[in-house]
A = this chain, B = another copy of it.
Amino acid sequence: MSDSKHAGPAGRTLTHLDAEGQVSMVDVTAKSVVVRSAKASGAIFLETETIRLIQADRVAKGNVLAVARLAGIMAAKKTGELIPLAHPLPLTYAEIEFEFPDSLDRIRIVSLVRTASRTGVEMEALTAVAVAALTVYDMCKSKDKTMRVSEIQLVAKEKVPPA
């Protein structure tokens, strides 16, 4: 695909868009289908009282966390729509865990996502954490005005060639 008619700054010529620094998806066509997983984590900081309320809920019915867990899993499936250059991937597994550190100032959120595909699910795992955290925020925002979502990062990723 060439374009002799581009004019641009410094040295643009008959090249592909990416050669000129223009965005395109990364081409993963030639990569092989292998099992890939990614684990990400993040935290939502809340008032201790809000955490206790969620925990009480959780013990009784688990609703706030149940909604956030679902939101995270469904967001993992939507990653290819949200992140413009992400590849749409057929996820084979997604889960969200919540942890309550003794500091009682945050809920830690951990996601695990798997696929058997040509590229990895790092963005899916991160997106799941972010949306789960935002959902906790949404459900508590009428009560707690101090919340913030932080520390969203990759924990691990793995590639397992087929046996």
Contacts and interface: CB of A to CB of B under 8 A. Distances in A.
A149 B135 contact: no
Contacts of A151: 148, 150
Interface string A73-111: 111011011111111111111111111111000000010
Contact of A70 (B23, B60, B147): B23
Contact of A53 (B13, B96, B135): B13
A95 B25 contact: yes
A14 B85 contact: no
B85 A88 contact: no
Interface of A: 1, 3, 5-9, 12-18, 21-31, 35, 37, 39, 42, 53, 55-64, 66-67, 69-71, 73-75, 77-78, 80-102, 110, 112, 114-119, 122-123, 126-127, 130-131, 133-135, 137-143, 147-153
